[in-house]
């Protein structure tokens, strides 16, 4: 099972990572956890076309706060890009694949999964990741993006995890790295990112079995 989040327009980097992981839609499950774009930067929107094609091929996707922001902008403008808004609106806000729960930003403690709001699932930060693990509802291990892992205490460009949470936004938007995580094999594939939605060509592959244990 492969998972990636917070691509932020780095389509080429995402393609490179999928190739490095030998992604085969007929065999592999791919989860895409939102913030494929920067809503106010049209140059990044082509990444949505790429993600849509992945979904058509069998991948699963949820929206991030950037996609929800874009959908709202386009609906107000009556834009020719309304197809993006309609597609974003068709996506689920979370995906359950035991033992994992996939969300963009996290969940709000004290609420059941069904009572989580779109704002909770796509924008929550400290109220989620600073909570003791015992306060998180349910039994799933929550895989999330949205908050760069360097803000969670991980070294720049690396994953972050505890026994109930796995943070996979390794800072592509901030010139750090974009990471594709193979949950089945406990392998992280990553590449450097730069301004202007440029991604480095060298892919780093490393075992993260000890982190995910």
**Percent with pLDDT over 90 in the chain:** 90
Give per-residue pLDDT as tens, 123-141.
Answer: 999 999 999 988 898 899 9
> Average pLDDT, whole number, for the chain?
95
Nearest to 52 by CA among 98, 1, 88: 88
Token reading at 176: 């750090």
For the entire predicted model, the pTM comes to: 0.96
Q: What pLDDT does residue 157 have?
A: 97
For residue 31, the cross-strand partners are 3, 60
Q: What pLDDT does residue 14 have?
A: 98
Give per-residue pLDDT as tens, 43-58.
Answer: 999 999 999 999 999 9
For residue 180, the cross-strand partners are 4, 189
CATH of 2-212, one of 3.30.230.30, 3.40.630.30, 3.60.21.10, 3.40.50.12780: 3.60.21.10
- What residue spans define the domains of the chain? 2-212
Average pLDDT (181-205) is 97
Average pLDDT (174-185) is 98
Res 74 pLDDT > 90:
no
In 135-183 the beta strands, taken as DSSP E runs, fall at 141-144, 160-161, 165-167, 177-182
Res 79 pLDDT > 70:
no
Q: Give the separation between CA 186 and CA 173, rounded to whole angstroms.
A: 24
Q: Give the separation between CA 141 and CA 44, rounded to whole angstroms.
A: 31
């Amino acid at each position: 099972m492969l998972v990636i989040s917070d691509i932020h327009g780095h389509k080429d980097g995402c393609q490179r990572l999928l190739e490095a992981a030998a992604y085969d839609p007929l065999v592999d499950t791919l989860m895409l956890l939102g913030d494929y774009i920067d809503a106010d930067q049209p140059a990044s929107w082509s990444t949505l076309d790429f993600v849509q094609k992945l979904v058509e091929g069998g991948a699963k996707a949820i929206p991030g706060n950037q996609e929800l922001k874009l959908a709202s902008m386009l609906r107000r403008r009556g834009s020719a890009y309304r197809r993006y808004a309609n597609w974003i609106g068709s996506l689920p806000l979370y995906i359950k694949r035991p033992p994992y729960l996939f969300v963009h930003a996290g969940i709000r403690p004290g609420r059941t999964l069904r009572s989580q709001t779109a704002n909770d699932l796509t924008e929550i930060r400290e109220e989620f990741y600073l909570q003791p693990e015992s306060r998180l509802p349910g039994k799933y291990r929550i895989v999330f993006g949205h908050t760069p892992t360097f803000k969670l205490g991980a070294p720049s460009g690396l994953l972050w995890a505890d026994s109930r949470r796995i943070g996979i936004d390794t800072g592509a938007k901030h010139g750090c790295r974009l990471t594709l995580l193979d949950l089945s094999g406990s392998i992280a594939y990553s590449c450097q990112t730069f301004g202007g939605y440029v991604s480095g060509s060298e892919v780093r592959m490393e075992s993260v079995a000890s982190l995910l244990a």
